[in-house]
Structure formats: structure tokens, C-alpha cells
Amino acid sequence: MDLFEAIKNRRSIRAFKQEPISDEVLRKILEAACWAPSAGNLQPWEFVIVKDPIIKKELCRAALNQYFIHEAPVVIVVCANLDRSSRKYGSRGRDLYAICDASAATQNILLAAHALGLGSCWIGAFYDDEVSKVLELPSGVKPIAIVPIGYPDEKPSPPSRLPLERVVHREKYK
Ligand SMILES: Cc1cc2nc3c(=O)[nH]c(=O)nc-3n(C[C@H](O)[C@H](O)[C@H](O)COP(=O)(O)O)c2cc1C
């Protein structure tokens, strides 16, 4: 798949077939996640794989009842290991780099899933403390994105993007 095509044609998918995802395919997606860039190559990401319907349901509740989390065969919760980044970079590592790095890994997951014929969605609307409790995350590990993945059962049309002229600034912001 051409990279530019993949970037442009990836959509947030919120309806999934019940077809399972093989371990091999899941591994490919996770490997792609780990090839994301990270500050100082610290790789401060942690991935919690959820297939258990009870835990999926609890995640769903923590994420304002976004029911499609429960319908996906696999959910990857991408977390940032804040301690790993702050040990080297202090508050900038904790407050910025760890979040950026986990976000870059998340984008790789979305694109890799798409390249493999799967659909996914970046879910950011959730209560951190509830997700941390459900997944028993240690302190210093912050949930960044809940990513349900499955074979798509919808084909959404592309939402528009702001024109380049509006978001690109030459030399100075004006
Ligand atoms: C940080 C972030 C948080 C998001 N949170 C949610 C969410 O909680 N629920 C949801 O359905 N989609 C969520 N999305 C997906 C966006 O709605 C979606 O990317 C956007 O509408 C553009 O659509 P597209 O991904 O199909 O291009 C989120 C995306 C990002 C990057």
C-alpha cells in the first residue's frame, strides 16, 4: 500500500465485524507501534492488550460508554511510561516527550491496522483514573489512547480537513 494513500484513506472505524484478529497480525501491528520515533529513543510506551469482554465493558464505561470499544475483538490501550522519560528528561520528559512518543506509537498502530485491512479508532475521551484502575496500571504509567481494532463493518466517508492555507504559516505566524 502506498504510504500517502494509506495516510489519506485511513478512517476512524467505529463498527466492527466479529471476525477475530490472529496473533500474527496483532504482533505486526505492535511491532509497527514500536518503530515510532521517541525522544532519546527511550520508547516510553506500554501496550495493554484487552480481549476479555468484561474488561472491554469496563473500558467502555470509563470512556463515556463508547459502546464500539466493546464490539471490537481486540482493544489496545496505549500508555506512556512517564517515569522512563522523566528519569532522563525531567519535567519535559514527563509532561511532553512521553505523551508525544506514545502518540506517535498510536498513529503507527492506526496506519498499520489500516494497511492490514483492519479498522481502528483513537479514543481519547475517557477518565484516566478509571482506565488505570481497570487495567491496574502502576503509578507513573498514564493511559494515552484506547484503540479498538477489528475488521471494519462500515465505510465512513472522509471528514474534511482544514485547507493548508489556514494551518501553514510562512516564516512567522500571521
Ligand atoms: C486525541 C484524539 C482523541 C480522539 N478521541 C475520540 C473519541 O473519544 N471517540 C471517537 O469516536 N473518536 C475519537 N477520535 C477520532 C477523531 O474523531 C477522528 O480522528 C477525526 O474525527 C477525524 O476522522 P478520521 O480519523 O476518520 O480522519 C480521537 C482522535 C484523536 C487524535
| Mean pLDDT across 57-78 | 98
Which pTM does this prediction carry?
0.98
Which of 5, 68, 123, 126 to mutate for ligand 1's pocket (most ligand atoms within 8 Å of CB)? 123
Query: Cα separation of 50 and 147, whole Å?
Result: 10
Q: Which three cell numbers stand for residue 117?
A: 485491512
From atom 2 of ligand 1, which residue's Cα is the shortest distance away?
A: 124
Q: Are strands 141-150 and 119-120 parallel, antiparallel or unpaired?
A: antiparallel
From atom 12 of ligand 1, which residue's Cα is the shortest distance away?
A: 123
Q: Is the pLDDT of residue 103 over 90?
A: yes
| Mean pLDDT across 89-99 | 98
Non-local CB neighbours of 6 within 8 Å, separated by 6+ positions: 111, 114, 115
Q: Is the pLDDT of residue 99 over 90?
A: yes
Q: Which three cell numbers stand for residue 60?
A: 467502555
Q: Which amino acid is at 38?
A: S
Structural domains for the chain: 20-151 (3.40.109.10)
Q: Return the pLDDT at 1.
A: 83
Q: Return the number of other C-beta atoms located less than 10 Å from residue 138's C-beta.
A: 10
Closest atom of ligand 1 to 110 CA is 25
**What is the share, in percent, of the chain residues with pLDDT greater than 90?**
99
Name the pLDDT band for 174 (thresholds 50, 70, 90): confident
Q: Is the pLDDT of residue 53 over 90?
A: yes
How remote is the CA of residue 127 from the centroid of ligand 1, in Å? 16
